[in-house]
Structure 1
Amino acid sequence: MTAMRAEAPAAAEPGHCGEDQICGTVNAEDMVRLDGTDWVITSGMAGPGVGRGGLFAISVGSRTAAPLAIESAPPDRDFASCPAPLDLARFSAHGLSVRRDAVDRYTLFVIGHGGREAVELFGIETARGRLRARWAGCVPVPSVAGPDGKTPATGNANAVAALPDGGIAITVSPKMDHGDARSVDRLAQGSGAGDVMLWHGSTGWRTLAGSRFRGINGLSLMPDGRRLLVSAQTERAIYMVSPGSATPVRIASELGFFPDNIRLGDDGMFYAAGAKGPLRDAVLCAFSTARVCRQAYAVLRIDPSTLTSEMVVEADGNGDFGIATTALRVGDALWLSSFRGDRIRIFPARGD
């Protein structure tokens, strides 16, 4: 079948960006670097005031962003059980992960909301400096136990990590109504919990023992390809979990912010970003019509060799940028993105 190029989502107005910003993204909740290339990919969450979500590509060299056009095609064999093609008109891209398959070839894993709750997969090619993306299939997110611990509920995935053996890891909790103040209050007070779940084509989904945390959110694979870092947002903590142990290791706690995504940077260090101030306000703003959530934010750097950490950014939000949800070390700079806004904020990276 001939692949058809799908319509790309509309980008936000670029505005007047200085040296410390990249404009043209939409609600870039997460970011990943395509190793060995000039490209960074960001997610784009749909929501009030922005309409459609999608994916965006940023050239590191020129620091320019543009919507990433997605070609529609039949799913790959490994994901042929995906129930239907991706509905780009309803697609809202959340957490990201990328696996390098060969020279100039990658698989992008995306937590998708909108038409369905699923991990959406995309084949990415970067030959001759050109970026090409095609939809490659999906893995639906499973149902989970509801707030009462018994009643099945729709699973709401947040972060995803590609595993070296071809599997997938996600953080997942019961789906909630972010527009309902009472539900948000319960989340902010720490009543909501979730787990890390693992998927393999031969066995399907299973819950990783010892991975249940309050406000489970970000997820990133350690360099050994086995252990995982997990952020527990309402606990203000970061844990390390492993399929080989049912006992999590807490590597950071009593943080002065609510950790969101965790990303491995070009310098070999992990970076966790998140909101300071009331978590309730951050969640309500994320799903409001506000152009920017102006809350303060912070970034923690984690050394994977020693599991020690230090704060490297603490900043106030403003009319251009607030509430960083991802921090990615790109060369000698630290790029920050947010679930609400139209730009990437750039800080000079601190020395070691």
Structure 2
Amino acid sequence: MMPSVYCFGRSLTSPGVYSVARLGQDSCALLWRDRMTRAVSGMLLAALLGLAGVSGAGIADPGERAVPCETRDGIEPVCGLSAPEDIVVAPGGEGLVFGQMHAPGGLFLLDTGDHSVTPLYSGADRDSTAWGQADCRQPPQILLAHGIDLSQRKDGRWQLLVVNHGGRESVEFYEWLPGPGAPAVAWRGCVAAPEDASLNDVAGLPDGGFLVTRMTSTQSPNWELFLAAIGFDNGVVYQWSAGEGYRTLPATKGRFPNGIVLSPDGGSFFVNMYLGNKVVKFSFPGGEPLGQVSVSKPDNASWSPDGKLLVASQFGSLLALFDSLSLPPGTPSLLPYAVMEVDPETLAKRELFWHEGAPMGAGTVAVQVEDAVYVGSYVGDRLVRVPLKPAS
């Protein structure tokens, strides 16, 4: 047996997420070769974008990246966070639940009245009565939350699903525990990701299963990101159930599938093809395409109180995007973004607002609370509250 060594690396598709793998020397050599391939693919992508005349506008000078935590143009930041990438409304209007994708990670509750933040789960808190796989007996030591979803199971209990990149690639199950006193969640097991699958977002199903988007490979994420950028449909949606495990929905292949939501009636689901610049509606069950609408770099989606789909949409060249991904921890991106409203039946769209600059850019999700939306991001130390203007 070859002696073991430790290989240390960072993932571009989960910025700020580091992993340590105990591998044989041959495996480390392969890992090093793969990283060199990623670096070369990055240079090829930059050259390709340069030849295509894609501007690098929006790439900030490192000395100009400090962004004050102050209200601008009515947009109010909530700071002291760590990449709050996805947000959902808590049951009973008790606030907003969000995860942190960068260390220290965890799940939190935002009070929309005074913007106070309460920790819900940080990792390693063990609970019982698992809903996930039987062989998942230990909670994650650190929860680095990407996409999250809150839905009711058939028995009426609230299921909170979280795509986790901390220590393992998985979908973590939690139960929202209502009742007197402070809100709480309990860990209810997990489901490991399929082999070589880097997951992005998840949508719960009434039977306790879920739909989840595979954005890239875990072994060569930057290479797959490059392939998606030049037109390859190498992402897909998986459906998981306790009885059958994972199965691929072939018709959902696309370029970097990102956010996913199930329709309120359960008859369809929507997938945001980030590098395909479109939102696609699929039948459920079945997973057959029913229609699509063009949206620039759609990230996550949520349902508005009046039944419309709210889609966070980003703008800028891929070079500007890569620069945004490589910002130092805690530094907010100023990548332009918009929130689009999509009619789930007609797929007609309209822009609710567009923003560039401080106090935050690179919006990844928009969740409506009364006459405002709360917007998260995959990088930086904040989320923001944006007042909505009445429809004209």
TM category (shorter chain) comes to 0.7 to 0.9
Select 1:309's aligned residue among 332, 339, 349: 349
Shift of 1:122: 1.1
1:137 to 1:251, Cα distance in 2 relative to 1, 3 A: same
SS of the equivalent of 2:252 reads: coil
SS of the equivalent of 2:88 reads: strand
Contact conserved, 1:29 with 1:95, CA < 8 A, in 2? yes
Shift of 1:92: 1.0
Q: Does 1:300 align with 2:352?
A: no
Contact conserved, 1:325 with 1:337, CA < 8 A, in 2? yes
Q: How does 1:261-280 map to 2 (within 5 A)?
A: 261-280=300-319
Give me the whole-angstrom Cα distance separating, in 2, the residues matched to 1:196 and 1:82.
23
Supply the AA of the counterpart residue of 2:256: G
1:83 to 1:282, Cα distance in 2 relative to 1, 3 A: same
Q: How does 1:217-236 map to 2 (within 5 A)?
A: 217-236=258-277
Q: Does 1:240 align with 2:281?
A: yes
Q: Which has the larger radius of gyration?
A: 2
Select 1:114's aligned residue among 142, 145, 166: 166
Could you give the per-residue CA deviations for residues 286-334 of structure 1, whole angstroms, max 9, x where no partner exists? 244251111111111012243321111211033x311001011112111
Shift of 1:130: 1.4
Contact conserved, 2:136 with 2:189, CA < 8 A, in 1? no
Structure 2 partner of 1:259:
298
Give me the whole-angstrom Cα distance separating, in 2, the residues matched to 1:163 and 1:39.
23
Q: How does 1:46-65 map to 2 (within 5 A)?
A: 46=102, 51-65=103-117
Structure 1 partner of 2:207:
165
Q: Does 1:344 align with 2:386?
A: no
Q: How does 1:1-352 map to 2 (within 5 A)?
A: 16-18=69-71, 20-46=76-102, 51-70=103-122, 72-79=125-132, 81-89=134-142, 91-100=143-152, 106-128=158-180, 130-143=182-195, 154-176=196-218, 184-191=225-232, 193-245=234-286, 247-253=288-294, 255=295, 257-289=296-328, 291-318=331-358, 320-352=359-391
Give me the whole-angstrom Cα distance separating, in 2, the residues matched to 1:179 and 1:156.
8
SS of the equivalent of 2:93 reads: coil
Shift of 1:68: 2.5
Structure 2 partner of 1:148:
none
Which range moved further: 297-306 or 26-35? Answer: 297-306
Fraction of identical pairs, as percent: 28
1:219 to 1:203, Cα distance in 2 relative to 1, 3 A: same
1:167 to 1:110, Cα distance in 2 relative to 1, 3 A: same
SS of the equivalent of 1:231 reads: strand
Contact conserved, 1:27 with 1:45, CA < 8 A, in 2? yes
Give the alignment's TM-score, normalised by structure 2.
0.74
Contact conserved, 2:259 with 2:299, CA < 8 A, in 1? yes
Contact conserved, 2:133 with 2:242, CA < 8 A, in 1? no
Shift of 1:243: 3.5
Give me the whole-angstrom Cα distance separating, in 2, the residues matched to 1:157 and 1:287.
20
Contact conserved, 2:153 with 2:208, CA < 8 A, in 1? no
Contact conserved, 1:179 with 1:284, CA < 8 A, in 2? no
Give me the whole-angstrom Cα distance separating, in 2, the residues matched to 1:173 and 1:323.
18
SS of the equivalent of 1:114 reads: coil
Structure showing the higher helix proportion among its residues = 2
Could you give the per-residue CA deviations for residues 15-50 of structure 1, whole angstroms, max 9, x where no partner exists? 75447222232101110001313221111112xxxx
Give me the whole-angstrom Cα distance separating, in 1, the residues matched to 2:221 and 2:88.
29
Could you give the per-residue CA deviations for residues 173-194 of structure 1, whole angstroms, max 9, x where no partner exists? 43257995x6654443333521
Contact conserved, 1:231 with 1:239, CA < 8 A, in 2? yes
Contact conserved, 1:54 with 1:88, CA < 8 A, in 2? no
Q: Mind listing any 5+ residue stretches in structure 1 that lack a counterpart?
A: 1-14, 144-153
Give me the whole-angstrom Cα distance separating, in 2, the residues matched to 1:178 and 1:24.
32
Structure showing the higher strand proportion among its residues = 1
1:173 to 1:128, Cα distance in 2 relative to 1, 3 A: same
Shift of 1:284: 4.6
